[in-house]
Amino acid sequence: MLIRQRQQVISNHLKQAFSPLLAQVLANRGITNPAQMDYTLKGLESYDVLKGLPEAVNLLEKAVVSAQRILVVGDFDCDGATSTALCLLALRAMGAGYTDYLVPNRFTQGYGLSTAIVDLASQRQPHLIITVDNGVASHGGVERAHQHGIKVLITDHHIPGASLPAADAIVNPNQLGCPFAFKSTAGVGVIFYVLLALRRRLLARHWFVQQGISPPDLAQYLDLVALGTVADLVPLDRNNRILVAQGLVRLRQGKGRLGLLALLDIAKRNYATLTAADLGFATGPRLNAAGRLDDMSLGIECLLSESESAAAVLAKQLDELNQERRHIETDMKQQAQVYMANLQSQDDQSMPKCICLYQNNWHQGVIGILAARIKEQYHRPVVIFADGDDGLLKGSARSIAGFHIRDALAAVDINYPGLIERFGGHAMAAGLSLNKQSLSRFRCAFLEYAEQNLDNSDLAVEWLTDGELESADLNLLHAEALRRLGPWGQAFPEPCFHGQFEIVQQRLVGKKHLKLVLAVPSSETLVDGIYFNVDLQRWPNDSKLVQLIYYLDVNEFRAQRNLQLLVKYIQPL
């Protein structure tokens, strides 16, 4: 395990605006001017430069004004669910007469705008299909829609293949030739931009006056944009940080969607102090559980709820599904650990440079989480397979920094044509399907690519921190100030520190969490610490001096707020 310290030069602008600690943290994340931390909506990138936007707005304007039937086809993850709910709510608020949605079932229909989904959609006789968070690879689905006489608007953010579907309009910041600067926009962000442009068009033609309705303030849906953006783990570039920050403002005021507020209630999260991490670790998993184990329609209906009672019932069902998902995940991880124990030797570097696992009783809705857990533990690219309902193996891949997992699958597909049935994804996460008899060949091909493109240094676990803190810096004021500088997330990581501490007390709470009282050596400073999901075979023990990697956190208990170190790594010295 290596610890490397971020240490960027602090600009004079930051020195004048922030304390030394906060200025260093921001400089370490590429911030040079306080204006970059202005998260008001005026700082959002304009939607005007999005390629395909005029064509998309033309389709939507005609559909709304002519009372055409609009069908939204979403995805079965959190980004897809929030995108679907946002699209329906905004279109209805803008006077669309007929709007409905269809979300594929992960187990029976698979991902995206497939021909089977289009055939099912055609029974509702839509004039226009809008895809959200999918569609950029749906050549066959678009063709089938046109055969049914249905126009297709694709809104997506996934990286396109060599060619695009022949849709009537495509809005995707990652399509070739799109000048929109923020390529990391999530699917929910893309459809939010499209809807903003539609609202402007309808205003220009006096549509709202004609209909006797007020033009909707689309900012009211930014709680959905924030949730989908955080849960999809896209990099929090400045544009995404604005979207997330503004969504959090609404949620802290208790003004979010009733379904989202109900999910926060059941997760026992305080609205007033809500952070992006609460969305990522409390709300997102509960919503995702519907798509993993059952049908994401349950999650979408929760987000669409117009009464507190209905929202509470649906949130409870989602929470129960999430508990079931946790049990399944625990069993699968235990089985995977048996295999990994046989694979691992004393010298970690002798392990293969990537991990590819399959077991015929694994749940295909949970393999993505298992892949993430194994990746975190062994710091290697991981692909986990399970049996799919169509006779193919369904794979979920997770990667480490410096190894673009979708590009890796694309390279395997080029080098071994026909080996992979289909694939898609991002730098850090991807999905694929292949025939069961091809698993051994895929494992070898994937390992071959990893051996060629990963050095041993890439596989070393490395903690990148913001340095060591003096005892005087370990205080509640700094913890609260760092929280206010958020949102933190992918590519804009929460400030992390390292240092040596003396253990004064240690005990287990909640059966698996290590509660600590820590002293800073050569000082009288005492501070609380918590290490969630500790290795029970190693802790508690009689260690006195330890090396920690930690975040400054605020512990709220019985109306009291105190500093707490959120420990991410602990090593006896």
DSSP label of 77: S
State how far the Cα of 336 lies from the Cα of 162, in Å rounded to an integer: 36
SS3 assignment, position 355: strand
State how far the Cα of 244 lies from the Cα of 489, in Å rounded to an integer: 10
Residue 518 backbone phi and psi in degrees, to 5: -120, 150
SS3 assignment, position 429: strand
Kindly report the number of other CB atoms within 10 A of residue 200's CB atom: 13
Kindly report the number of other CB atoms within 10 A of residue 43's CB atom: 15
Residue 374 backbone phi and psi in degrees, to 5: -65, -40
Delineate the domains of the chain, giving CATH numbers in brackets: 43-317 (3.90.1640.30), 344-459 (3.10.310.30), 469-572 (2.40.50.460)
pLDDT tens for the chain, residues 1 to 573: 688 899 899 999 999 999 999 999 999 999 999 999 999 999 999 999 999 999 999 999 999 999 999 999 999 899 999 999 999 999 999 999 999 999 988 777 777 899 999 999 999 999 999 999 999 999 999 999 999 999 999 999 998 988 999 999 999 999 999 999 999 999 999 999 999 999 999 999 999 999 999 999 999 999 999 999 999 989 999 999 999 999 999 999 999 999 999 999 999 999 999 999 999 999 999 999 999 898 899 999 999 999 999 999 999 999 999 999 999 999 999 999 988 888 765 445 468 899 999 999 999 999 999 999 999 989 999 999 999 877 899 999 999 988 999 999 999 999 999 999 988 877 888 899 999 999 999 999 999 999 999 988 888 888 999 999 999 999 999 999 999 999 999 999 999 999 999 999 999 998 899 999 999 988 888 999 999 989 888 999 999 999 999 999 999 887 789 999 999 999 999
List 386's β-bridge partners, or say none: 394
Let me know the angle formed at the C-alpha of 290 by 298 and 145, rounded to the nearest 5 degrees. 70
DSSP label of 492: B
Q: How many CA atoms lie within 13 A of 302 on its CB side?
A: 32
301 and 318 Cβ atoms separated by less than 8 Å:
no
Residue in 269, 299, 300 with CA at minimum distance from that of residue 99: 300
280 and 230 Cβ atoms separated by less than 8 Å:
yes
List 184's β-bridge partners, or say none: none
DSSP label of 281: I
State how far the Cα of 381 lies from the Cα of 516, in Å rounded to an integer: 33
